[in-house]
Each structure stands twice: as structure tokens, then as C-alpha cells.
Amino acid sequence: MNYRHIYHAGNFADVLKHAVLARLVRYQQNKDKAFRVLDTHAGIGLYDLSSEEAQKTGEWQTGIGKLLEADLPAEVDELMEPYLSAVRELNPEGGLKYYPGSPKLARMLFRPQDRLSAMELHPDDFRALSRLFEGDYQARVTELDGWLSLGAHLPPKEKRGLVLVDPPFEKENEYERLADGLHKAYRRFATGTYCLWYPLKKNAPIKDFHERLQSYEIPKMLCTELSVRSDRLEGLSGSGLIIVNPPYTLKDELHAMLPVLKAIMAQDRYASHRAFWLRGEA
């Protein structure tokens, strides 16, 4: 309940998460049928990077700030277009004042038939998120512990969906909770696409986390990670995503995007990236 994303909005971890989220939304739209995005830890949805909180850390300056200024290769520019176009749409006069959180980004990419269910437990953030989507018939905001939504809100009535699980990682057992949350959700909605975010930092139990996921009978799990600096230092050094039932094109897209993102946002010579199958296709 103490975590506030405004301090971290637009940082390197958001860049990876939101670039992939935009690719996943676009892939869902390859079919005309409606789909639903379930965002389990939605935050306030839209972030003012000129605010005192965002300025205090300035993390966006080494994330989305650098990316917008970069000259991207044509292939990567095309892959990043849905994400970067949404950011630019929020800043029509140029510069970078507003940044979309996951629910706002997904909503900006929707067709008329697509739907959003956004969960937020923090009372102040829930009220801000509710105001953001007030009167929007394509978005439903619920004051709820996002972990509970993995049972109560699945499967979606559309029978097609993308589930984003982006917890704050304030507790020691969050990696286990994330893995177990996926396991529970998958039993209810095995055909959905899931995107799980996790932090990379000193002494993080990544190997145990991956092995726990591999123990589940989930046929296709793709993992991608991007680190911008050494994990021997304190604090967040990188972040990862687990994508269940990923688009068949996503691994190749990541292989194109990750080296460019690393080069743009690297903070020391230990920056690295990888994309590999935890389970499924070799």
C-alpha cells in the first residue's frame, strides 16, 4: 500500500513493459472479435512527469526520455510505434509531460469493441483512476486487491483476453505469489495471454522463480529480461516479463528490440538482455 508508481513512471522498466504490452494488444487485434485487458495492479493510469514526485527521482529521463530522443532503426521504430505514438499523443505540443500507465496505454490502443477491467486497491489511486475513466463505457475500474481478480474476474465474458500482472513487490514472497497467481488464473482461463512483470535486483530469487514457473503444466511461457546496470548495486537494476501464450512473432520482435533498448538506456557496461522460452518452443 506504500508503493506509488509516480516516482518510477516512464523508467526503463516501464519502457520494456509497455512496449511489450502494446505489441500484445496489437496482436489481439489481428482478429475482429472483442477482447478484454485485465490490469490487476493498475495505478492511477496517467502520470504527470512534471509533478514533484516524478521530478524527485527523474527516473523517466533515463527511460522514456532517452527513447523518444533516439534515432531508432526502421524495424524497431515500426515495432515501437503503437507505444510511442500513444506517448506522443498525450504530449501534442512536444516534450514529455504526461506518461500513460498500463491501463491508459491499453485503452488508447483499443478498437470500439475492446474492453478494460482495471483493478486498484490503494484508495487514493483508485479514485484517480476512476476519474480518468469516468463515463468511458469501454473501461471498468474496481477497488479490489488485484490478486483476487485472478480468480473472480476470469475468464472474461469475451472469452479472449490479455491479463497484465504488475505487482509492487513490497513483500518478500512476491515472486512466489506471482507464480502461484498465474497458476490459479491459468486453471480458470487457459487460452488467455498473460504478461507478468518482475524486478531484477541484488539477490533476487530469479532462478527459483523461473523453476517454480517451469514446474507448472503451462505449455508456452516466454521470458524476456532487460538490465541497464550491474545487479551488484542496490536498487532496481533491470526487469523481466513472463508471457504465457505469447504471439508466435514476439520472440523475434524482442530479439530486434532488446539490443536497441539496451544501447539507449544502459547505465554501465554490465547492461544486458535476453529472451528465451521457459517452457515450449525452443
Cell of 90: 498525450
Backbone angles phi and psi of 209, in degrees to 5: -60, -50
Q: Could you identify the residue written with the cell 523508467?
A: 11
Cell of 96: 514529455
Q: What is the DSSP letter of 263?
A: H
CA distance 111 to 245: 22
Catalytic residue positions? 166
Asked if residue 245 lies in contact with residue 220, where contact means CB atoms within 8 angstroms, the answer is: yes
Task: Report strand pairing: 36-39 vs 193-201.
Answer: unpaired
Asked if residue 29 lies in contact with residue 111, where contact means CB atoms within 8 angstroms, the answer is: yes
CA distance 95 to 269: 29
CA distance 232 to 267: 13
CA distance 240 to 197: 6
